[in-house]
A = this chain, B = another copy of it.
Amino acid sequence: MKWAEFCRKFVEQVTHNHLRALFLKSNTTMSTTTTKTGHSFDRAILDSLLRRRLFYTPSFEIYGGERGLFDYGPPGCALQANIVDLWRKHFVLEEDMLEVDCTMLTPEPILKTSGHVDKFADWMCKDPKNGEIFRADHLVEQVLEARLKGNKEARGQTVEVDEAKEAKKKKKVKDTKAVKLDDAVVKEYEEILAQIDNFGGEELGQLIKKYDIKGPSTGAELDPPRAFNLMFSTTIGPSAGTPNGYLRPETAQGQFLNFQKLLEFNQQSMPFASASIGKSFRNEISPRSGLLRVREFLMAEIEHFVDPESGKKHERFEDVKDVKLVLLDRDTQLSGSTKTREVSIGEAVATKLVDNETLGYFLTRIQSFLLKIGVDRTKLRFRQHMANEMAHYAADCWDAELLTSYGWIECVGCADRSAYDLSVHAKKTGAPLCVRETRAEPLKIEEYQVDIEKKKFGPKFKKDAKTVEQAIEALTQDVREKLSLNLEKEGKIEVNVPGVGDGKVELEKDLIKIEKRTRIEHIREYTPNVIEPSFGIGRILYSMIEHVYWSRPGDEARGVLSFPPTIAPTKVLLVPLSNAPQFKPLVQKLTARLRRLAIANKIDDSSASIGKRYSRNDELGTPFGVTVDFQTLKDGSVTLRDRDTTTQVRASEDEIVAALKLLVDGEETWDDIKKRLPLFEGQDVD
């Protein structure tokens, strides 16, 4: 695109951009989050907790680390396993989906067909002086933002400080100088920032030139942006010299390639869904924001295959139609607002706000899953993709976004991918990735059919005969109708055949017949459409942790992670009052008993005070604690503590174990237990 053309398009988009600018701004403002108890959220404290308690840790740290890669330690690993387990129950089991496990290694031709080889790329540019590499859009964004901030300072306006952004910027932007900018320039910068996601490589290059953006550490002129494919390439097998495959960027392709076998497994019955849980890979140019943008991540994806002519109805939609969702639709965003509204999914689908029942059904299922694992309902919204955000083939797309200290984060995408993927793979391989079903009533089709007098065709057109034939077969019904009339009227017709003679071929009545006839179709063949809910497990896990994190008044240095019992890494902490030997067999008996009930539990018999041991486990999110004390030696009773309220009850071991089973299975709440069993107020020694 030429610069002039770019400017023209730019002006055309100004209205839209202003709205996006507004939107972006509101987005930033909202990132000052509060904890569930209404206190202001301090990310540094949470980060420190998560590392100290080994929820996760940068990979290969003793070798200096590798950006964008994280290892999960024991609590993070258990949390992740529990979330995956719940996901499998909530979706695969309850919805009777066909789970598959496909390989990550993927030969190149598959990803060429899917479009990833050509299009799954970001623009990067290089500082030729020191070899530093930047993601072009991020660089432009950060430099212009810094200049706008400098302008505000120069004008004596207050500057909102977003610490996360500041930290990022410090690395790339040398110093924010308090330089005043012209009003027009400010407006121009704001407009560019508003649509930073929409620029291609050439446009980014032009912006870098126009606004004199230089290498941050060298001041050198940057190389022009070039596309960097985000897939990791590798070589499969010993014969190829050069890379011939990739690590998958999504689990979806494996599911599409197995479509025919899955349909067969499902006894040819439609609709059905496949599902897959596994790692995918994305070679980020500059990974950042902890678990939110990493190079290797766990995904859980569903591909729900549906007949496009069914109106994408869903059998169980009736069951969910009154479920309310907080929606931020496309029109609202276009009107410059981020105001959400709470609508029942029944109404949303009836008014076509959400495209169809199947998409709507999954939005409610996504919501109930997220709420089950502990997401804060007030920090969840469904945002519809803008037209220019969606892949060209997508019919509609909604993201479940969670509010975190990094802003609203896309955690689940729910897209209608239409028939795109199955179609391209079928076209490339000739495999019948489609459904064939006997029509309940045979279909009568009236159409113009062409008969060719093959015996005369060959002699007349010789080596071109095939080409001419194909051109005739390809004629549309409209053209056929017209030609049929001409043929009748004039006894001959003229057909366009590119590449033969002068591109036109004359055909007489004895060579061709075109007639309107009725055809009966008994079998219907169609390519299913795909509704795809796609979950980024790491992003969900991190955002949820921000939602359940808080600290007790007066003890802000120590956090509490209020995981729901179902997903808590450890369900019960077992604490002997002291490490006196007579407690040991009791605790051992209890741990074995809970283990038999599949209740994950840990013993803490360290010499720290009970209070310290409990607060250590508050940080690990352990919902319940059982103490064995001198009273236990006398009457066999133990105490049970609730993490969130720190209240305790005391009862016989049998009663407490039964209560734990009900609590962990989610069949009773702490309130139920408190009503049933006597409260206990002694022993909480700090």
Q: A interface vs B, CB < 8 Å?
A: 53-54, 57, 59-63, 66-74, 76-78, 80-81, 88-89, 93-94, 96, 98-107, 109-110, 124, 131, 133, 228, 232-239, 245, 247, 254, 257-258, 260-262, 264-265, 267, 279, 281, 283, 285, 295-296, 425, 429, 431, 433, 595, 598, 600, 602, 606
Contacts and interface: CB of A to CB of B under 8 A. Distances in A.
Contacts of A261: 54, 57, 73
Contact of A265 (B54, B62, B63): B54
A53 B262 CA distance: 10
Contact of A73 (B61, B258, B598): B258
20 contacts: A54-B261, A57-B258, A60-B110, A62-B429, A63-B110, A66-B107, A67-B237, A71-B101, A71-B103, A71-B254, A72-B100, A74-B262, A77-B99, A94-B595, A105-B232, A105-B281, A232-B234, A233-B235, A236-B283, A247-B247
Contacts of A94: 595
A81 B88 contact: yes
Closest A-B pairs by Cβ, 10 of them: A62-B431, A72-B101, A71-B102, A74-B98, A69-B103, A62-B429, A232-B234, A77-B99, A77-B101, A234-B234
Contacts of A99: 74, 77-78, 81
Nearest to A67: B237
Contacts of A228: 238
Nearest to A226: B238
A264 to B, nearest CB: 8
Contacts of A105: 66, 69, 232, 281, 295-296
Contacts of A103: 59, 69-71, 296
Nearest to A106: B60
What is the interface of chain A mostly: helix, strand, loop, or mixed?
mixed
Nearest to A228: B238
A105 B72 CA distance: 14
Contacts of A602: 96
Nearest to A74: B98
Contact of A239 (B53, B131, B265): B131
Given A88-B81, A109-B63, A239-B131, A71 B54 contact: no
Nearest to A665: B598
Nearest to A431: B62
Q: Specify which of A60, A78, A431 lies most central, judged by the most chain B CB atoms within 10 Å of its CB.
A: A60
Contacts of A235: 232-233, 283
Q: Specify which of A66, A101, A104 lies most central, judged by the most chain B CB atoms within 10 Å of its CB.
A: A101
B595 A93 contact: yes
A110 B61 CA distance: 11
Given A74-B98, A99-B77, A104 B57 contact: no
A596 B380 CA distance: 27
Contact of A234 (B57, B63, B233, B285): B233
Contacts of A104: 104, 279, 296
Contacts of A429: 62-63
Contacts of A247: 234, 247
A556 to B, nearest CB: 24
Nearest to A276: B77
A341 B234 CA distance: 46
A67 to B, nearest CB: 7
Contacts of A133: 238-239
A232 B232 CA distance: 11
Contact of A66 (B74, B236, B606): B236
Contacts of A72: 100-102
A648 B231 CA distance: 55
